[in-house]
Amino acid sequence: MRFLVDGMLGGLARWLRILGYEVRYDASAKDNDLLTIAVEDNMVLLTRDRELHQRAVAKKIVSSLVVGETEEERLAQMASSFGVRLETNMAETRCPECGASLMEKSKSDLADKVPEESFKLYNQFWKCSNQTCGKVYWVGSHWKRIRQTLEEAMRLARLEQ
């Protein structure tokens, strides 16, 4: 499943990428452009804009009006509406910034790209395949917070069923 996310849902775009989904996000895209892209690229439109959602539905575009106020609520809605799996798998995770695939890299290749303390503590690293982005990721202490968010989203998704 591929998603097109409007400018009000940048956080959700990042989360869906972490979960391994292809997500197109451009905070400056106009409504008409979003509708055109959704049709041409066969993407599900996610929006908080009721009018945009209604226009999409009228044009037979698969769209979801995202109503959750927290990321956990939004993720739960995606799980309930589209079967989004709320589990991470680094082999599928995409760059949260740009959406490109991540490639596992040897620790020695990234010595100058990772903070010294993280470099000492962790052994597995992934780098964004997009040369203009090139961000480096590792499963560090912040993953506790990521897991907590996903667990809460799973709990909420179960309540919605």
Domain with 51 in it: what CATH number?
Answer: 3.40.50
**Confidence tier at 161 by pLDDT (50, 70, 90):** low
pLDDT (tens digit per residue) in 74-84: 999 999 999 99
89-92's contacts with Cβ under 8 Å and 24+ in sequence apart are 89/20, 90/124, 90/126, 90/139, 92/19, 92/20
- The mean pLDDT value of the chain amounts to 95
The verdict on pTM exceeding 0.75 is yes
Domain span at 42 = 2-90+150-160
Report pLDDT for 78.
Answer: 97
pLDDT (mean) for 126-141: 94
In a domain, 112, yes or no: no
Whether 9 contacts 83, CB under 8 Å: no
Report pLDDT for 160.
Answer: 76
Report pLDDT for 141.
Answer: 86
In a domain, 73, yes or no: yes
In a domain, 118, yes or no: no
